[in-house]
Amino acid sequence: DAGVIQSPRHEVTEMGQEVTLRCKPISGHDYLFWYRQTMMRGLELLIYFNNNVPIDDSGMPEDRFSAKMPNASFSTLKIQPSEPRDSAVYFCASSVNSPGPSYEQYFGPGTRLTVT
Amino acid sequence: QKEVEQDPGPLSVPEGAIVSLNCTYSNSAFQYFMWYRQYSRKGPELLMYTYSSGNKEDGRFTAQVDKSSKYISLFIRDSQPSDSATYLCAMSAGSNYQLIWGAGTKLIIKP
């Protein structure tokens, strides 16, 4: 398996523009997580899905952020309109609901977003 | 106060030294404790996983959990320059798959 795939790897955009980040989880994984990482705030969970259904979006900073998972192999995180404070590395991770506790999350390479 | 506290460092030690990385937490319901390693410009990857209290050893790495003190540790023996990375602790109460993360400690092993 190729692991979690994210695109684009780097995104530079101007304030006010719409940004869409994409993620393909590992096949067979039924949990998908979107994180944001900054030096100041560390790794923050934004939202997570189970079987394509959003379970907890309390980490989404504001209405400018939205996430969808239309099927088991694809998810998007959209920021509209973008602001300079959204600059961060955005990670997608997936995990599988296996017998017994399993908390290993497999992370993608991240999307480095810069909003100018 | 954060649920999980971790010193961000950086922690710089010479090659071959024993490294001790630590996290404290406040939620007594946490039962699952993990250490993730993150290399520069990469995503975190699971290094060690421990359930409840006790020790777990894997090669040069040892994870310890002291639930009475709400304190977890990761020890690295015979540290190598390739161990230079950011180490994040993460934990869960087990009711769902959501992890609570520490800030991460940046570790630098000097040759």
Q: Which span out of A78-87, A91-100, B24-33 was modeled with the highest average pLDDT?
A: A78-87
Average pLDDT (A42-67) is 93
DSSP calls for chain B:
--SEE-----EEEETT--EEEEEEE--TT--EEEEEEE-TTS--EEEEEEESSEEEEETTEEEEEETTTTEEEEEESS--GGG-EEEEEEEE-SSSS--EE---EEEEEE-
Place of tokens 């993608």: A108
Average pLDDT (A1-13) is 93
**Could you say which of B41, B98, B101 has the minimum Cβ distance to residue A42?**
B101
Q: What is the DSSP letter of A45?
A: E
pLDDT at A102 over 90: no
Nearest C-alpha of chain A: how many angstroms from B47? 9
Proportion of chain A above pLDDT 90, given as a percent: 82
Nearest C-alpha of chain B: how many angstroms from A45? 8
Average pLDDT (B95-100) is 74
Residues of chain A with Cβ-Cβ distance to B101 below 8 Å are 42-43, 45
Residues of chain A with Cβ-Cβ distance to B65 below 8 Å are none
CA distance B38 to B20: 17
Q: Chain B: which residues have CB within 8 Å of chain A?
A: 32, 34, 41-46, 49, 51, 88, 90, 92, 94, 96-99, 101-104
A72 touches chain B (CB under 8 A): no
Helix (H, G, I), strand (E, B) or coil at A74: strand
Going by C-alpha positions, the residue among A80, A60, A76 that lies closest to residue A68 is A76
Beta bridge partners of A92: A34
CA distance A15 to A83: 5
Q: Where are the alpha helices (DSSP H) in chain A?
A: none
Average pLDDT (A22-46) is 94
pLDDT digits (tens, 9 = 90+) for B2-57: 899 999 899 999 999 999 999 999 999 998 899 999 999 999 999 998 888 889 99
Bridge pairing between strands A19-24 and A111-115: unpaired
pLDDT at A109 over 90: yes
Nearest C-alpha of chain A: how many angstroms from B81? 22
Report CA A17 to chain centroid distance, whole Å: 18
